[in-house]
Amino acid sequence: MNKVKSTNTVILRKVCKDKKLLERVKSRLSAKALKIFNKPKMDILIPQHIEEEILLAGALILFPNSGQKIWDLGQLLAEKSMNTIYRLFLKVSSPTTAIKRADQMWHAFFNKGKLFFVNQTDKSATMVVAGFPELKPYQIELTNGYMVVILEYAGAKNVAVKFNPSDPNSWKWHVKWD
């Protein structure tokens, strides 16, 4: 059973402070996922399928009319996870400087894999994640949303993120911005 860090689940719980909103998310969870979601102090690592269930439930409640619910959730979670110091760092940096720190962000959420950039220019780069063979579609979409927010905080405009699924041993995202 693959495990991931519970960071996104903890942030989602904080986002759903409103009791009615929280209850709506909880109503969509299996007993196993609900038990983990309700823990006062969540374990650092949780089963990947449980994270997926919790985040999908949150996305359905928070973005019911969106055609890209998980991507939108990724953007929301990125905004909420960027504390003031990190946000300030991004605002005074450039997109190219921000992506140099992306591996640190990756490890805040995942316990496996190595993130790096290739083909980097002033307005684009290819983000590569190696050593993470079990990357699921929901994680791809979350990453898309996170990349948009990180680059926008660093001053990028019109951020476009496109996932390239051609090599499951080395996941790639092509990122462009103005």
122-177 per-position pLDDT tens digit: 999 999 999 887 789 999 999 999 999 999 999 999 999 999 988 878 899 999 99
Predicted TM-score (pTM) of the model is 0.91
Which two three-digit tokens encode residue 25? 């998310």
For the chain, the domain total comes to: 2
For residue 4, report the phi and psi dihedrals to the nearest 5 degrees: -130, 160
- Inter-residue contact 154 to 95 (CB < 8 Å): yes
Domain of 94: which CATH number?
3.30.70.990
Q: Which domain holds residue 164?
A: 81-176
